[in-house]
Amino acid sequence: MKKDKNWKLIKSEPAIDLNIVKIRHDFYKNPRNQKVVKTIAIEGNNAANVIAKTKSGKIIMVRQFRFGIGDYTLEIPGGMIDEGEDVLKAAQREVREETGYIGENWQYLGNILSNPVWMDSTIHHYYMENADLKYELELDEAEDVEIILLSPEEVYQKIADGTIKHPHTISAFFFARKILGIV
């Protein structure tokens, strides 16, 4: 006997507006037991990150403090896409602001869901080549970025040994493995 597997949204209620994200409560009817469950969903802007390769073949990484874990992560530059902003333009802006680099030969690698357990947003991954340092950093009030240049092999080794743990960085490098010659 085939059961109905469609979750039915009964209602949604706003919970908290934190400016960069909004939290809402969704009430769904579970098709397995017919009970209504109260869930939490985080509404946020989509984001973009960039694997930026310098003219010398190094990957531009950033080490920055992340409030959620109270510690530093090693990751690729990226950030939120502003309302109405083109995704590629946002990726280019984020690299320039966080690293001072600009580049060429931009390629869209793909996208992933931020965290579909709680969130409704998407992360877009890009790759650029011939990155050249041209600008001063333009960091937000809550940012403090250290630039670290690594070879592609060093990046994949740091993913393998657990040094790089940021899931959006790891997924970007999954998409880029052929471009970077790591298969």
CB-based burial, 106-120: b 16+ in 10 Å, e otherwise: eeebebbebeeeeeb
The pTM assigned to this predicted structure is: 0.91
CB-based burial, 28-50: b 16+ in 10 Å, e otherwise: beeeeeeeeeeeebbebbbbbbb
Strand order in the sheet with 8-17: 8-17, 21-29, 36-44
Question: For position 35, what pLDDT does the model report?
Answer: 96
Q: pLDDT digit string (tens) for 123-134?
A: 999 999 999 999
> Cα(first)–Cα(last) distance of the chain, in Å?
44
Best CA proximity match to 77, nearest among 67, 57, 87, 63: 63
Q: pLDDT digit string (tens) for 47-94?
A: 999 999 999 999 999 999 999 899 999 999 999 999 999 999 999 999
- Going from N- to C-terminal start, the domains of the chain cover 8-44, 47-175
147, 99 Cβ separation under 8 angstroms? yes
Q: pLDDT digit string (tens) for 105-121?
A: 999 999 999 999 999 99
Task: Please identify which residue in the block is written with the tokens 């109270």.
Answer: 70
132: tokens are 């050249």
Q: 47-175 has which CATH code?
A: 3.90.79.10
